[in-house]
Structure 1
Amino acid sequence: MSGAAMRLTAAVSGFVIFLLSASVIQGQNVWRVTYTSTQICALKGSTVNITCSYTRPSKTTDGDTRVERAFWFTKTQDEEPVDLRTDPQYAGRVQYSYRNNACTLSISDLRDSDSAVFKFRFITNHPDWRYTGEPGVTLSVTGFQVKISQKQSCRAGRCTWADLTCHSSCRLTYSTSYNWYKNGVKMRTEKESFRDYFYHEDSYSCAARGYEAFPSPSECVGDQTCKKVTYPDRSICAFKGSSVDISCTYYNGYKYIASKFWFSSDHHQRRYLSRAEDLRKDSRYTGRVQVFDTERGRSTLRITDLRESDSAEYHFKFKTGSDEWSSSLPATTLTVTDPDVQVQVIWSTTGPKLICHSSCLPSGRSSLAWYQNETKRIQDETSPSYGGYVDPVDSYSCSYQSYRSPPVYAPRVPVVLMSRSGDIMKNSSVTLTCSSDANPAANYTWYKENQSVLGREPQLVFSSIQSSDSGEYYCRAENDLGTTSEYVFIDVKYGPKLPSVSVSPSAQIVEGSSVTLTCSSDANPAANYTWYKEDQTLLQGPEGVHRFTSISSHDSGNYRCQSENQYRRINSTTLVLDVQYGPKRPSVSNNIGRSNSTLHLTVVAAAWKSAVVGTITAVLPAIALLAVCLWIRRKKSFTQQSHGGERPAIRAQLNMDLVRDVTSAPAPRQPAEHLHYSSIRFTQNQEEALYSNIRPAQPHRQTEEEHEEEEEEEVEYTDINTDNARSSPRTRREEDEEDSSALYSTVNK
């Protein structure tokens, strides 16, 4: 890539970062990774901690943000950062920690190849929201070395004048004084460099004060025939019950070795190295220790049936005729632990990666075996990383030194349990619990149908559940190997709420129209409805609808609805129906009373008061016709009595006085107020009703009482309906004396 292209790419990247920063600064949120130090110098074989802090926008337009994955990297593959844990070079030597916006990378057993630039990267729950901290931390791995300069041979030729300097490739923090060792024994000088004469059989080593655990290798000042002991492994970890080999190389300067052996010490015993005891004579190791000299200048200590008490520092010691090597320098440290072989699952953009991990797993020293579904051996490697495809439906395990790890696998279908059995009632407390068999352990997320996340714990708690909480709930279980989910349906039960009643049409209700009464009430399970008119049951059923196909005036009244299910019964408010209608067909009745001589002819009409005048106009001609008929009948009866030789007992003159003459047209239809009556009264001085006295000849003579009974049986009642009638003239005085609510027509006899 040309320089111009690189500058353009850098400019574009900077512009994108600027825009991103500008967009989040408005909400007082920024993307940032701050490293405690950008330059670190660490000693070979030691452990280094690289620390940082980070910030991110707490909210986006899509909701809250959270860090879901974070890792450190030094390399990229296909422009994607490679998680340091998946790099075989760092397998088993790195650990991450990120919490409360603090991040830490720990690398143990540092090597020269670990010198690199380390960067922290985090990914949020929004796939496009990820960030890498720049510029990263530059780690330089160094070790102490004894540098020899200004060498001059002594006169005797058995020694050399020289300058010795304790050197490191980078400046360590707080290294102001040094320790020097001659033939493994600490010297008194504390300077970084000094000049002296040195015998050829002596070796020298150094370390900065505070870093005594990592001294330089022993160096010969003259030739390479000096005494020294070198340990290839500064630390070894082994499983309890297993065996371990600890070795060293040594050189005695061509002198005869009188004795040699291995001994152990801890931190508190180093000052008493002169009291060291051969492990083969130590009762704690009886029957468990062997020493092998497989080649000249090399010794190996083997300890079997390891115990936790065997954790210590192991030294090699030899004696010649004139002196001995009894080192106060660090040797090999052994740590004995329980077997803890595990498969570590590492997420990556190309899929999950598997690492055979243990705190005692030395990289590149022993072969590893990988298994699929417990029995199928799929790979033998010296590297702890598995390089094949990981199928989420299978399980995977690894073995090291005959110790098998537990299998890892994606979450199985979750089991969702509800804290309550039976019906779930409104306002009750309900807890949903999700569990799934998975290794590594599953993370849980709760959803309701297509809504946003409700929770990220195995339990979802409703302290007072409501009807709105009814629905399908999903529990998602996931780890780095896969994802699965299960749902549960919640149906919250409750009694009916106050029913809502309505009438359709909602406008004026007219007799003969179609009317629908509707009752509805929120309830679970659905309510049944009962309609009442007053206290009379009209309808029962689940619909709550009562229909009048042709409503009548008799349907006017008070209605109410009752809704009920097994949890509650409740009544609605009262619904009043007022059915409006026009005048009914008039009814005329002829009532003859026995107690007096008055004939009441009544025309009954349930109509409005304003319709009375029109009704009278129709009735008066009928009254006149009835009077003529009665007069003809009476005259005929009188003629029959005259032919029988008898005179009529009574003379009567029929006078018909018309009370009211009304000729007006029918009035407009108005609501009915009263019933109006039209009557014809026949008045007579005697206390007798209107009838004809017929006295037939003997022997069929009847008493007056019997005759009256006959006449009563002959009384006729007539309903008169007519549209047009002529009224007789009447005086104004009669009109003034007229009753406002009754109409009378009287015939005086």
Structure 2
Amino acid sequence: MSLTAAAGGLVVLLTVTVVKSQNGWGVTYRKPTEICALKGSTVTISCTYGYPYTVERVDKTLWFTKESNNVHVDLRSDPDYSDRVEYQCENKACTLTIRDLRETDSATYKFRFITNLETGRYTGEPGVTLSVTDLQVQVITSTYRRSELRCLNRCSLPDRFTYIWYKNGQNIQGQTSNTYSGYFVDTDRVSCAVRGQELFPSPSVSVHWGVTYTSTQICGSKGSTVDIHCSYRYPSRVNNVDTRVTKTFWFVNNEPLDLKEDSDYSGRVEDQCNGNSCTLTIRDLRETDSAEYKFKFITNHDSGKYTGSPGVVLSFSDPQFQVDVRKSTVDQFSTWTELTCRSNYQLFDHHSYIWYKNGEKVENKGKKYFLLDGFDPSNRYYCNIEVLGYERFRSPPVYAPNLPLVSVLPSGQIKKGSSVTMSCSSDANPAAKYTWYKKNGTDEPRLVDQERLSFSSIQSSDSGDYYCTAENELGRTRSEIISIDVKYPPHPPSVSVSPSEIVEGSSVTLNCSSDANPAATYTWYKGNRQHVHG
């Protein structure tokens, strides 16, 4: 195992070379296939690739972590990696650099290249696995006053690195080792960091007594089974006497009665502890099980009792699934759309997800996400998990906007100076966003990005052809044209004479004109007498 100090952080590399080749096609991951890195650091993954002589050119190279439905998400187009990734490719060698690592970056990274051949696409398997971790304070030994602590992480950084320790948020001067011994009171909280990574310290912990729950909110449904997990800690010695845990149990609300002895839970609960980790299992859930569950441990010392509070709230409800939609907005050439199945339940990675397209199951290898390259507006997608009894709890479908409907208020004749509102609506999930346009020859200026287009005092210049668009992450549709014809009375008429010089006996024409909608009719007068009407 080797250790690399990358720009901005620390990375542990397990150096194993992997070569995959088939008929001249191949990707070689020359650097580690397993990488452990601290949050906030920078990591670089490298490979070389090859292809047969029949290939004229390589059209595209990319790195990805997500693929489904034959769609591979280029990391450069993924908003989660925006401005944090960089590719460098030269002479069939490519590197991927990821900066400011996050725990969500933990994944398997693969390289893919696309050539001019119709079948010339190749992905290097199995890829490089990156684990991003943060630091944790581990209590090695703890007496009533003095405790020995270790700054721990999955990367197993060597002792030669410099550490920083904090007590109640204040730097403990002179402490630079990954272990620290000191005196603490019950209210003290301690955290640690690696020098150079001070922005990413460990969570602070209480050194002496404590209970930590994996989750504080859990949902359950009638007849199902739930697990509630916790871990606990205590000082190894109090007043020079070794500490022994004499009892552990779970109870509900504020009644300190062991659930195993509660008749309401008879035969339905199981309490298992492995070291300082304990799990409460409740089977055949009932609506009356909705409550706050707490863990308590008792030691051999008179004051050695501790309850983890607040506890874990179990809510009784049917599972609800929802499809979240996300479309790449990094550049105009990114066309992928990601659907992610989400639930109000605390679901685990081992759950297998089911995806439906227009009522039929689609193959997606049980993945939580489903990728689309383009979207047919007529298609509807929804999801569920592959657990017996959950079939009827499918998510609402997601779909592109239907053809927008346009309405005008008030209906009927529109008069100049009146108040007019045009509304655009479309059935869509996710909800559509609307934009109004006015046609003006070849120009179609964008007016407003909202559902309604309003005129507080409409003018004749507002007459014309309008339409709206409805758009969500799955598509965009356009309404039919709606014509607005603003009516107004005649403007003061103007009179012209032709020719301008009049000779007795010649022919003379008088013209009367006025701007009006509808077109005006004219009446001529000589003196005070009507002369001509027309």
d(CA) in 1 for partners of 2:362, 2:287: 33
Change over 3 Å in CA distance of 1:173–1:366 after alignment to 2? farther
d(CA) in 1 for partners of 2:369, 2:347: 13
Three-state SS of the structure 2 residue aligned to 1:387 is: strand
- Once the two structures are aligned, what percentage of the paired residues are identical? 34
d(CA) in 1 for partners of 2:304, 2:382: 46
Three-state SS of the structure 1 residue aligned to 2:522 is: strand
d(CA) in 2 for partners of 1:483, 1:217: 56
CA offset digits 1:459-503 (Å, max 9, x no partner):
222111111111122222211111122232211112222222212
d(CA) in 1 for partners of 2:274, 2:105: 31
Which among 219, 229, 232 is matched to residue 238 of structure 1? 219
Residue 290 (str. 1) matches residue 284 (str. 2): no
Change over 3 Å in CA distance of 1:113–1:232 after alignment to 2? farther
1:446–1:454 CA contact under 8 A, matched in 2: yes
Q: Which residue of 2 aligns with 1:463?
A: 456
Three-state SS of the structure 2 residue aligned to 1:412 is: coil
d(CA) in 2 for partners of 1:502, 1:163: 106
d(CA) in 2 for partners of 1:140, 1:170: 17
Three-state SS of the structure 1 residue aligned to 2:461 is: helix
Three-state SS of the structure 2 residue aligned to 1:439 is: coil
Which among 190, 199, 202 is matched to residue 208 of structure 1? 190
2:463–2:485 CA contact under 8 A, matched in 1: yes
The Cα RMSD (Å) is 5.2
What amino acid is aligned across from residue 410 of structure 2 in structure 1? R
Residue 518 (str. 1) matches residue 511 (str. 2): yes
d(CA) in 1 for partners of 2:135, 2:509: 95
d(CA) in 2 for partners of 1:391, 1:383: 19
Q: Which residue of 1 aligns with 2:315?
A: 336
Which among 333, 341, 350 is matched to residue 356 of structure 1? 341
**TM-score, normalised with respect to structure 2:** 0.55
d(CA) in 1 for partners of 2:207, 2:348: 23
d(CA) in 2 for partners of 1:312, 1:212: 28
d(CA) in 1 for partners of 2:366, 2:207: 28
d(CA) in 1 for partners of 2:147, 2:304: 24
**TM-score, normalised with respect to structure 1:** 0.41
Q: Which residue of 2 aligns with 1:369?
A: 354
d(CA) in 2 for partners of 1:85, 1:238: 32
Three-state SS of the structure 2 residue aligned to 1:80 is: helix
1:343–1:407 CA contact under 8 A, matched in 2: yes
Q: Which residue of 1 aligns with 2:251?
A: 263
Q: Which residue of 2 aligns with 1:507?
A: 501
d(CA) in 2 for partners of 1:442, 1:288: 51
d(CA) in 2 for partners of 1:141, 1:249: 19
Change over 3 Å in CA distance of 1:378–1:438 after alignment to 2? same
d(CA) in 1 for partners of 2:342, 2:270: 30
Residue 482 (str. 1) matches residue 475 (str. 2): yes
d(CA) in 2 for partners of 1:467, 1:372: 49
Which among 79, 84, 93 is matched to residue 83 of structure 1? 79
1:288–1:305 CA contact under 8 A, matched in 2: no
What amino acid is aligned across from residue 315 of structure 1 in structure 2? F
Q: Which residue of 1 aligns with 2:90?
A: none
Which among 482, 489, 499 is matched to residue 495 of structure 1? 489
Three-state SS of the structure 2 residue aligned to 1:468 is: helix
Pairwise CA distance, 1:343: 1.0
Pairwise CA distance, 1:387: 2.8
d(CA) in 2 for partners of 1:165, 1:293: 27
1:248–1:299 CA contact under 8 A, matched in 2: yes
Which among 396, 402, 423 is matched to residue 406 of structure 1? 396
Change over 3 Å in CA distance of 1:306–1:235 after alignment to 2? farther
Change over 3 Å in CA distance of 1:352–1:77 after alignment to 2? closer
CA offset digits 1:224-256 (Å, max 9, x no partner):
xxxx99989455632454531235799xxxxxx
Change over 3 Å in CA distance of 1:355–1:309 after alignment to 2? same
Residue 443 (str. 1) matches residue 433 (str. 2): yes
Pairwise CA distance, 1:390: 5.4
Q: Which residue of 2 aligns with 1:310?
A: 290
d(CA) in 2 for partners of 1:112, 1:323: 44
d(CA) in 1 for partners of 2:106, 2:309: 23
2:355–2:363 CA contact under 8 A, matched in 1: yes
Pairwise CA distance, 1:167: 3.0
1:177–1:208 CA contact under 8 A, matched in 2: no
Change over 3 Å in CA distance of 1:245–1:148 after alignment to 2? closer
1:41–1:171 CA contact under 8 A, matched in 2: no
CA offset digits 1:536-555 (Å, max 9, x no partner):
64462xxxxxxxxxxxxxxx
2:294–2:307 CA contact under 8 A, matched in 1: no
d(CA) in 2 for partners of 1:485, 1:173: 61
2:191–2:203 CA contact under 8 A, matched in 1: no
What amino acid is aligned across from residue 489 of structure 2 in structure 1? G
Change over 3 Å in CA distance of 1:172–1:300 after alignment to 2? same
Which sections of structure 1, spanning at least 5 residues, go unmatched? Answer: 1-39, 43-72, 87-106, 116-138, 150-158, 179-190, 196-205, 219-227, 251-256, 270-274, 541-749
1:363–1:383 CA contact under 8 A, matched in 2: no
What amino acid is aligned across from residue 79 of structure 2 in structure 1? D
Pairwise CA distance, 1:298: 8.0
What amino acid is aligned across from residue 262 of structure 1 in structure 2? W
2:225–2:281 CA contact under 8 A, matched in 1: no
d(CA) in 2 for partners of 1:424, 1:177: 73
1:166–1:207 CA contact under 8 A, matched in 2: no
Change over 3 Å in CA distance of 1:520–1:245 after alignment to 2? same
d(CA) in 2 for partners of 1:294, 1:164: 24
What amino acid is aligned across from residue 443 of structure 1 in structure 2? K
Which among 407, 410, 421 is matched to residue 411 of structure 2? 421
Q: Which residue of 2 aligns with 1:548?
A: none
d(CA) in 1 for partners of 2:343, 2:445: 39
d(CA) in 1 for partners of 2:314, 2:526: 93
Three-state SS of the structure 1 residue aligned to 2:428 is: coil
Structure in which a larger fraction of residues adopt helix? 1
Which sections of structure 2, spanning at least 5 residues, go unmatched? Answer: 1-37, 41-63, 67-71, 83-100, 108-131, 153-162, 173-178, 193-200, 233-244, 329-333
1:144–1:207 CA contact under 8 A, matched in 2: no
2:322–2:343 CA contact under 8 A, matched in 1: yes
What amino acid is aligned across from residue 295 of structure 2 in structure 1? H
What amino acid is aligned across from residue 432 of structure 2 in structure 1? A
1:165–1:193 CA contact under 8 A, matched in 2: yes
Residue 167 (str. 1) matches residue 151 (str. 2): yes
Structure number with bigger Rg: 1
Alignment of 1:648-687 (within 5 A): none
2:418–2:458 CA contact under 8 A, matched in 1: yes
1:426–1:466 CA contact under 8 A, matched in 2: yes
Q: Which residue of 1 aligns with 2:368?
A: 384
Pairwise CA distance, 1:341: 2.1
Which among 253, 272, 276 is matched to residue 256 of structure 2? 276
d(CA) in 2 for partners of 1:260, 1:352: 49
Alignment of 1:581-596 (within 5 A): none
Q: Which residue of 1 aligns with 2:98?
A: none
What amino acid is aligned across from residue 218 of structure 2 in structure 1? C
Q: Which residue of 2 aligns with 1:553?
A: none
